[in-house]
């Protein structure tokens, strides 16, 4: 096998978010996520960093597209990944990314989402524990994007959620030892579903919940425990409607583990109670 997990483990490092109201978005992430704006050579974008998390906020205009940036350990690993993409006929380009000073590459999935891979750089900052950990999308072409990320990029299927008619509804993909760093839900839209911050323990979930309560940002899903990944979670939204998840106890998975299969039901998505089922 030649998977990311085995050869070039990759973890979600930062996001580039495009906003029509970047000031409002930056205020939210500064106040709620302890992110601070740092100087960036790239004009127009604002780079915000905190402890083990970062976003690049970009104003909504022609030429600015969101992307999702994963880090690998060093330049050698990035070279191996670039070689794999070349062999598998995935076009990619070099990109200047302010948080990947060691160089980075960018490519698109079959539906036009942009993914960046670069050399890990430690992100410093003071604040509550919440490491940027995974991102999830809703897709109208689940089989196509799954094939791309597994066969071309090297992600591994950790778990699938399957409907009674045999249709796969959700695919959880890993690129290192954590249960998922990327996932796709089948749905009627192609949209960003959520991104997730992994905390250290259940008490952190409580503290984050209290912080959002004090700011009158209501939880819209959870708290609960997901079946696939077995993680505790809740979800809130930022001022643009982007969904944020806070998680603890995410399962770790060995490279030789067989993909798991879960039934499509509320209990799979939240064993504690009601679930948000995408449609």
Least spacing, CB of residue 245 vs Fe ion, in Å = 5
Least spacing, CB of residue 133 vs Fe ion, in Å = 8
Asked if 246 and 194 count as a contact pair (C-beta separation under 8 A), the reply is no
When asked if residue 204 is in the footprint of Fe ion (CB under 5 A), the reply is no
Pick the closest to residue 27 from 63, 65, 61, 55 (CA basis): 55
- Find the residue with minimal CB distance to Fe ion: 196
Least spacing, CB of residue 253 vs Fe ion, in Å = 15
C-beta of 123 vs 196, nearer to Fe ion: 196
Classify residue 200 as left (phi > 0), alpha (psi -120 to 50) or beta. alpha
User: Restricting to residues 97-116, which ones interact with Fe ion according to CB under 5 A?
Assistant: none
Least spacing, CB of residue 196 vs Fe ion, in Å = 4
Least spacing, CB of residue 170 vs Fe ion, in Å = 10
Q: Which residues of 113-140 are buried (b: 16+ CB within 10 A; e: fewer)?
A: bebbbbbbbebebeebbbbbbbbbbbbe
When asked if residue 245 is in the footprint of Fe ion (CB under 5 A), the reply is yes
Task: Pick the stretch among 3-11, 147-155, 169-177, 244-252 that binds Fe ion (CB under 5 A).
Answer: 244-252
CA distance 268 to 162: 10
When asked if residue 250 is in the footprint of Fe ion (CB under 5 A), the reply is no
Q: What token pair was written down for 213?
A: 């309560």
C-beta of 204 vs 245, nearer to Fe ion: 245
Please count the residues of this chain forming the interface with Fe ion, following the rule CB under 5 A.
2
CA distance 30 to 244: 14
Pick the closest to residue 227 from 267, 278, 180, 184 (CA basis): 267
When asked if residue 196 is in the footprint of Fe ion (CB under 5 A), the reply is yes
By the criterion CB under 5 A, which residues form the site for Fe ion? 196, 245
């Amino acid at each position: 096998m030649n998977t990311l997990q085995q050869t070039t483990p990759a973890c979600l490092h930062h996001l580039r978010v495009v906003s029509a109201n970047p000031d409002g978005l930056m205020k939210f992430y500064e106040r709620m996520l302890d992110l601070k704006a740092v100087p960036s050579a790239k004009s127009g974008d604002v780079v915000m960093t905190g402890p083990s998390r970062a976003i690049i906020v970009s104003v909504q205009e022609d030429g600015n597209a969101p992307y999702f940036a994963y880090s690998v350990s060093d330049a050698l690993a990035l070279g191996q990944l670039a070689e794999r993409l070349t062999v598998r006929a995935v076009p990619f380009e070099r990109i200047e990314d302010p948080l990947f000073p060691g160089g980075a590459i960018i490519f698109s999935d079959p539906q036009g989402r942009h993914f960046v891979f670069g050399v890990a750089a430690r992100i410093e900052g003071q604040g509550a524990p919440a490491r940027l950990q995974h991102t999830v999308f809703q897709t109208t072409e689940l089989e196509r994007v799954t094939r791309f990320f597994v066969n071309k990029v090297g992600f591994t299927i950790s778990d699938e959620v399957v409907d009674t008619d045999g249709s796969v509804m959700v695919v959880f993909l890993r690129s290192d030892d954590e249960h998922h760093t990327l996932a796709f839900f089948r749905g009627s839209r192609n949209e960003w579903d959520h991104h997730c911050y992994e905390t250290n323990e259940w008490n952190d979930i409580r503290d984050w919940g209290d912080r959002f309560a004090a700011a009158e940002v209501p939880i819209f899903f959870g708290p609960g425990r997901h079946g696939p990944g077995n993680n505790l979670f809740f979800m809130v939204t930022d001022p643009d409607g982007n969904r944020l998840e806070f998680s603890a106890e995410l399962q770790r998975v060995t490279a030789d583990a067989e993909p798991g299969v879960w039934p499509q039901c509320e209990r799979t998505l939240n064993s504690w109670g009601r679930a948000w089922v995408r449609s």
